[in-house]
Homo-oligomer: A and B are copies of this chain.
Protein backbone atom coordinates (compact mmCIF):
# COMPACT_ATOMS: atom_id res chain seq x y z
CA UNK A 1 0.00 0.00 0.00
CA UNK A 2 1.32 3.50 -0.80
CA UNK A 3 2.04 5.84 2.11
CA UNK A 4 -1.67 6.48 2.52
CA UNK A 5 -3.58 9.53 1.29
CA UNK A 6 -2.45 13.04 2.13
CA UNK A 7 -3.44 13.98 5.65
CA UNK A 8 -5.41 17.12 6.43
CA UNK A 9 -3.21 20.14 7.14
CA UNK A 10 -2.37 20.91 10.71
CA UNK A 11 -4.38 23.59 12.44
CA UNK A 12 -2.78 27.02 12.71
CA UNK A 13 -4.02 28.31 16.08
CA UNK A 14 -2.89 26.36 19.10
CA UNK A 15 -5.39 24.08 20.75
CA UNK A 16 -5.59 24.61 24.50
CA UNK A 17 -7.60 23.02 27.25
CA UNK A 18 -9.57 26.24 27.64
CA UNK A 19 -10.54 26.33 24.00
CA UNK A 20 -11.75 22.74 24.22
CA UNK A 21 -13.73 23.34 27.42
CA UNK A 22 -15.34 26.43 25.93
CA UNK A 23 -16.35 24.56 22.80
CA UNK A 24 -17.79 21.81 24.99
CA UNK A 25 -19.78 24.38 26.96
CA UNK A 26 -21.23 25.80 23.76
CA UNK A 27 -22.34 22.35 22.61
CA UNK A 28 -23.85 21.61 26.04
CA UNK A 29 -25.75 24.89 26.15
CA UNK A 30 -26.99 24.53 22.60
CA UNK A 31 -28.11 20.90 22.56
CA UNK A 32 -27.87 19.41 26.03
CA UNK A 33 -25.68 16.91 27.77
CA UNK A 34 -26.17 14.02 25.39
CA UNK A 35 -25.08 16.15 22.46
CA UNK A 36 -21.57 16.49 23.86
CA UNK A 37 -19.84 13.65 22.06
CA UNK A 38 -16.19 13.44 21.21
CA UNK A 39 -17.13 13.31 17.55
CA UNK A 40 -19.17 16.50 17.79
CA UNK A 41 -16.20 18.16 19.44
CA UNK A 42 -13.76 17.07 16.75
CA UNK A 43 -16.12 18.43 14.10
CA UNK A 44 -16.63 21.76 15.85
CA UNK A 45 -12.92 22.22 16.49
CA UNK A 46 -11.94 20.73 13.11
CA UNK A 47 -9.43 18.41 14.68
CA UNK A 48 -8.99 14.78 15.68
CA UNK A 49 -9.42 12.68 18.78
CA UNK A 50 -5.77 12.64 19.63
CA UNK A 51 -5.55 16.40 19.89
CA UNK A 52 -8.45 16.53 22.31
CA UNK A 53 -7.29 13.63 24.44
CA UNK A 54 -3.90 15.25 24.65
CA UNK A 55 -5.39 18.15 26.63
CA UNK A 56 -8.26 16.37 28.40
CA UNK A 57 -8.32 13.09 30.30
CA UNK A 58 -11.73 11.87 29.20
CA UNK A 59 -15.32 12.94 28.72
CA UNK A 60 -15.99 13.18 32.46
CA UNK A 61 -12.98 15.43 32.90
CA UNK A 62 -14.39 17.69 30.21
CA UNK A 63 -17.83 17.87 31.83
CA UNK A 64 -16.31 18.53 35.23
CA UNK A 65 -14.09 21.30 33.90
CA UNK A 66 -17.04 22.99 32.20
CA UNK A 67 -19.05 22.72 35.41
CA UNK A 68 -16.19 24.22 37.42
CA UNK A 69 -16.10 27.19 35.09
CA UNK A 70 -19.77 27.95 35.58
CA UNK A 71 -19.68 27.56 39.36
CA UNK A 72 -16.48 29.54 39.76
CA UNK A 73 -18.06 32.44 37.90
CA UNK A 74 -21.02 32.45 40.31
CA UNK A 75 -18.86 32.37 43.43
CA UNK A 76 -16.60 35.06 42.05
CA UNK A 77 -19.57 37.29 41.30
CA UNK A 78 -20.97 36.94 44.81
CA UNK A 79 -17.72 37.40 46.71
CA UNK A 80 -16.83 40.37 44.53
CA UNK A 81 -19.85 42.30 45.79
CA UNK A 82 -18.16 44.21 48.55
CA UNK A 83 -20.88 46.03 50.43
CA UNK A 84 -19.21 49.22 51.65
CA UNK A 85 -21.60 50.59 54.23
CA UNK A 86 -24.47 48.13 54.00
CA UNK A 87 -26.24 47.15 57.20
CA UNK A 88 -23.66 44.83 58.74
CA UNK A 89 -26.29 42.75 60.50
CA UNK A 90 -28.45 41.61 57.60
CA UNK A 91 -25.43 41.23 55.36
CA UNK A 92 -24.83 37.48 55.82
CA UNK A 93 -28.40 36.52 54.93
CA UNK A 94 -28.22 38.83 51.96
CA UNK A 95 -25.06 37.23 50.68
CA UNK A 96 -26.35 33.72 51.23
CA UNK A 97 -29.49 34.53 49.28
CA UNK A 98 -27.42 36.08 46.53
CA UNK A 99 -25.19 33.02 46.33
CA UNK A 100 -28.14 30.65 46.29
CA UNK A 101 -30.01 32.59 43.64
CA UNK A 102 -26.84 32.96 41.61
CA UNK A 103 -26.41 29.20 41.63
CA UNK A 104 -30.07 28.74 40.73
CA UNK A 105 -29.79 31.10 37.80
CA UNK A 106 -26.60 29.47 36.61
CA UNK A 107 -28.18 26.02 36.65
CA UNK A 108 -31.27 27.44 34.99
CA UNK A 109 -29.14 28.83 32.20
CA UNK A 110 -27.00 25.67 31.95
CA UNK A 111 -29.17 22.73 33.01
CA UNK A 112 -26.36 20.24 32.42
CA UNK A 113 -24.55 21.77 35.41
CA UNK A 114 -27.34 20.54 37.66
CA UNK A 115 -26.92 16.99 36.45
CA UNK A 116 -23.16 17.18 36.80
CA UNK A 117 -23.34 18.21 40.46
CA UNK A 118 -24.63 14.78 41.39
CA UNK A 119 -21.93 13.00 39.40
CA UNK A 120 -18.67 14.56 40.45
CA UNK A 121 -18.89 15.39 44.13
CA UNK A 122 -16.58 17.88 45.83
CA UNK A 123 -14.96 19.37 42.81
CA UNK A 124 -12.70 22.34 43.61
CA UNK A 125 -15.45 24.80 42.72
CA UNK A 126 -17.74 23.19 45.29
CA UNK A 127 -15.17 23.79 47.98
CA UNK A 128 -15.36 27.49 47.17
CA UNK A 129 -19.12 27.37 47.54
CA UNK A 130 -18.82 25.55 50.84
CA UNK A 131 -16.29 28.06 52.10
CA UNK A 132 -18.51 30.97 51.13
CA UNK A 133 -21.57 29.45 52.81
CA UNK A 134 -19.65 28.58 55.96
CA UNK A 135 -18.16 32.03 56.31
CA UNK A 136 -21.54 33.72 56.06
CA UNK A 137 -23.13 31.28 58.49
CA UNK A 138 -20.37 31.91 60.96
CA UNK A 139 -21.06 35.62 60.65
CA UNK A 140 -24.68 34.80 61.41
CA UNK A 141 -23.61 33.43 64.78
CA UNK A 142 -23.92 29.73 64.07
CA UNK A 143 -21.70 27.88 66.57
CA UNK A 144 -18.67 26.17 65.10
CA UNK A 145 -19.74 22.61 65.79
CA UNK A 146 -23.02 23.16 63.94
CA UNK A 147 -21.48 24.85 60.92
CA UNK A 148 -21.12 21.74 58.80
CA UNK A 149 -24.70 20.65 59.52
CA UNK A 150 -26.12 24.03 58.54
CA UNK A 151 -23.89 24.50 55.51
CA UNK A 152 -24.67 20.98 54.40
CA UNK A 153 -28.39 21.52 54.71
CA UNK A 154 -28.26 24.64 52.61
CA UNK A 155 -26.00 23.19 49.95
CA UNK A 156 -27.86 19.91 49.68
CA UNK A 157 -31.08 21.84 49.21
CA UNK A 158 -29.47 23.84 46.43
CA UNK A 159 -28.10 20.70 44.76
CA UNK A 160 -31.52 19.09 45.03
CA UNK A 161 -33.21 21.95 43.26
CA UNK A 162 -30.40 22.00 40.72
CA UNK A 163 -30.93 18.33 39.98
CA UNK A 164 -34.68 18.73 39.60
CA UNK A 165 -34.15 21.71 37.35
CA UNK A 166 -31.83 19.72 35.17
CA UNK A 167 -34.32 16.86 35.02
CA UNK A 168 -37.15 19.20 34.12
CA UNK A 169 -35.07 20.82 31.40
CA UNK A 170 -34.29 17.40 29.96
CA UNK A 171 -37.92 16.35 30.07
CA UNK A 172 -38.95 19.62 28.45
CA UNK A 173 -36.40 19.22 25.69
CA UNK A 174 -37.36 15.59 25.10
CA UNK A 175 -41.05 16.43 24.82
CA UNK A 176 -40.37 18.93 22.00
CA UNK A 177 -43.16 21.13 23.34
CA UNK A 178 -42.80 24.70 24.49
CA UNK A 179 -42.92 25.44 28.19
CA UNK A 180 -46.62 26.30 28.16
CA UNK A 181 -47.68 23.10 26.42
CA UNK A 182 -45.37 21.04 28.57
CA UNK A 183 -46.89 22.32 31.80
CA UNK A 184 -50.34 21.67 30.37
CA UNK A 185 -49.42 18.10 29.53
CA UNK A 186 -48.12 17.52 33.06
CA UNK A 187 -51.28 19.02 34.53
CA UNK A 188 -53.42 16.82 32.32
CA UNK A 189 -51.57 13.69 33.38
CA UNK A 190 -52.06 14.60 37.05
CA UNK A 191 -55.72 15.35 36.48
CA UNK A 192 -56.35 11.66 35.87
CA UNK A 193 -55.14 10.72 39.35
CA UNK A 194 -57.57 9.71 42.05
CA UNK A 195 -58.46 12.94 43.92
CA UNK A 196 -59.09 11.01 47.12
CA UNK A 197 -55.61 9.55 47.14
CA UNK A 198 -53.76 12.57 45.78
CA UNK A 199 -55.50 15.68 47.13
CA UNK A 200 -52.30 17.68 47.44
CA UNK A 201 -51.18 16.85 43.94
CA UNK A 202 -54.51 18.08 42.62
CA UNK A 203 -54.15 21.29 44.59
CA UNK A 204 -50.65 21.81 43.23
CA UNK A 205 -51.92 21.06 39.74
CA UNK A 206 -54.28 24.03 39.74
CA UNK A 207 -51.40 26.30 40.76
CA UNK A 208 -49.07 24.94 38.12
CA UNK A 209 -49.51 27.71 35.56
CA UNK A 210 -48.72 30.62 37.84
CA UNK A 211 -46.01 28.59 39.56
CA UNK A 212 -42.57 30.20 39.59
CA UNK A 213 -39.66 27.84 40.24
CA UNK A 214 -37.31 30.66 41.18
CA UNK A 215 -39.69 32.10 43.75
CA UNK A 216 -40.27 28.69 45.27
CA UNK A 217 -36.54 28.13 45.44
CA UNK A 218 -36.04 31.45 47.22
CA UNK A 219 -38.81 30.59 49.66
CA UNK A 220 -37.01 27.36 50.45
CA UNK A 221 -33.74 29.18 51.11
CA UNK A 222 -35.52 31.58 53.47
CA UNK A 223 -37.15 28.64 55.21
CA UNK A 224 -33.80 27.02 55.87
CA UNK A 225 -32.24 30.28 57.00
CA UNK A 226 -35.17 30.78 59.37
CA UNK A 227 -34.61 27.29 60.73
CA UNK A 228 -30.92 28.02 61.28
CA UNK A 229 -31.79 31.23 63.09
CA UNK A 230 -34.40 29.47 65.21
CA UNK A 231 -32.15 26.62 66.23
CA UNK A 232 -28.70 28.19 66.37
CA UNK A 233 -28.97 31.91 65.84
CA UNK A 234 -28.75 34.22 68.81
CA UNK A 235 -30.04 37.26 66.99
CA UNK A 236 -33.54 38.09 65.88
CA UNK A 237 -34.63 35.94 62.90
CA UNK A 238 -34.70 37.60 59.51
CA UNK A 239 -33.62 41.05 60.55
Is A87 among interface residues, defined by CB-CB distance under 8 A? no
- Is A140's beta carbon under 8 Å from chain B? no
**Judging by beta carbons under 8 Å apart, are A198 and B164 in contact?**
no
Indicate which residue in B122, B166, B203 contacts A147 across the interface (CB closer than 8 Å).
B203
SS class, residues of chain A in contact with chain B: helix
Q: Are A224 and B151 in contact (CB under 8 A)?
A: no
**Per a CB cutoff under 8 Å, which of B118, B158, B170 touches A115?**
B118
Whether A220 pairs with B164 at a CB distance below 8 angstroms is no
Task: Tell me whether A239 is interfacial, beta carbon within 8 Å.
Answer: no
> Chain B's nearest CB lies how many Å from the CB of A155?
8
A168 vs B228: C-alpha distance when bound (angstroms)? 26
Q: Identify which of B127, B146, B207 contacts A193 (C-beta below 8 A).
A: B127
Scan residues 91-139 of chain A and give those whose CB is less than 8 A from a CB of chain B: 114-115, 117-122, 127, 130-131, 134-135, 138
Least CB distance from A192 to B in Å reads 11
Picked from B134, B159, B211, B226, the residue with its CB within 8 Å of the CB of A160 is B159
Q: Using Cβ atoms and an 8 Å threshold, which residues of chain B touch A163?
A: 117-118, 159-160, 163
Quick check: A171 and B223 within 8 Å, CB to CB? no
Cβ B222 vs Cβ A231 within 8 A: yes
For window 141-158 of A, CB contacts with B under 8 Å fall at: 144, 146-153, 155-158
- Residue of chain B at shortest CB distance from A155: B160
